[in-house]
Structure 1
Amino acid sequence: MFTKKQLVEEVFDKAKRESGKSTKNGLSEYLVITLEEKVSLSISERTLIRYYDTYVINSTKKNEIEIDSNTLDKLSQYLSYRCFEHFVNPNEFVLDGVEAANVHRPIGVYQDLTKVVEGGLHINIHNMIRLPDFIKNNKGMSLGMMGVLIASGSFAHFNGSFQKKDHMYWNGVEYRLTAAQDRNPKHAVIPLDTVQFKYFKKITRPDTLDLDNGLNKVWYSKYRNKVEFFTMDGTNPDNHKELKPVSEGILEKYAGKKTTEK
């Protein structure tokens, strides 16, 4: 129970940081979309609210809400762990035959090399690294130096295995972290802006906006009669149009529950 409670609490805490929402309903709405996009987890808002009631606010119901193993793994992946077992025992998890020893939260061993997170930098080992090959190809380097490179977060590019993720690209909803060497033709790679990376997102559910949560808190762009809403000021990455703060008229015409009734 305690480990599941910790997992659910950390998932909702991360959603709160990312979305700026504070209610369980708002956080659950955000997670429905985010979990589907980031870790391919299809889950209902109602189920997430039940998890919140049971594990976050410590519901006293006798029957605990069960969470299946796949969901536990996906929620752990949202927090950048390989699976639930990795979340439970980050110090003992074996990654491609390499034991992740003497590693403690918030520094973990994850799938990607680097990840920008709250409270600092997580040092990660890419799951394609093979230490025997690395040692063979870098015979002149001492084991101590290899350890320093990994532990200190020095991301030298050895035979293409390491890439520093200090750039980002827009995926249509938010900015995603990537490396300068990203050659995906669909990615318009730009230098990492930590503020935009963390706070700038498209609002995919304009029907949830109203005067209370939208006015003076949301920006919009109108291009070819299409209105899109964003969480902070700037330019629309899709059409490079300057964003404007929403007005009562814009919210009443293009947002709110009536947008789902058209």
Structure 2
Amino acid sequence: MKEAIIKEIVEKVFEKAKTECPKHSRYALSNHIAEFTSISAKTIERLYDKYLEKRGSIGDQNEYTINDLCKYLGYNSYADYVKQNRKSKISINVNNGGEKKKWKVLVTVCLVLVIGLILGLSEKSKEPKCMVWQTDHYERIECFTINNKIIIPLDEVRLQNFKKVDVDLTTEFFEETTGKPLIWYYKNGNTIEFYTSPGLHPVNDKTLKAVTEHIIEKYVPLHTYEESSFAE
């Protein structure tokens, strides 16, 4: 029998006795335990001294004494105590191992997400923060002057949606259900330009106007001058 297990058994025996006996002195507890076992009170006191007080010189305990203490705790024998408590410890270790594994996975996933977010923000911070008008659309560019062109702060919506377009009578000028305009224009003399979004003219900052039926009738050609636009 292992001394560590015997010490554990003795400690549990006295813990149980404290819940049953009104007095918690060494003498009272030992006598209480003796009443429920075939072990003498003196022997139980010596066990108390050795394993709880860590004093005294009691020798190794025989199997009968330890078995009797285990029966007081509700086990069939010392072997039964070891067997059942070993199962409990294995179960606890397995559960703890599973919990630790879950935490490791969770921490790893969070770490990957954080690193990904940092890298994403880092890459995004490297992207140019300005844009410039190029013929019929905006292009992303670094924020410095180039060829005397107007450099403006980056506007993702305008970058993606604002374009200069050619139109003809097949162009969809108005939203079908609401009638809201889908094309805007800028007119200077006999010159007219059409754009896909409202706002300011990309070169002279003049306000664009929503297309009207009058503008369409007067300035929009019946067809484009491409071979594909003519009927055969």
TM-score bracket, normalised by the shorter chain, equals 0.3 to 0.5
Q: Larger Cα Rg: Structure 1 or Structure 2?
A: 2
TM-score, normalized by length of structure 2? 0.39
Which structure is higher in helix share? 2
Q: Normalization by structure 1: what TM-score?
A: 0.35
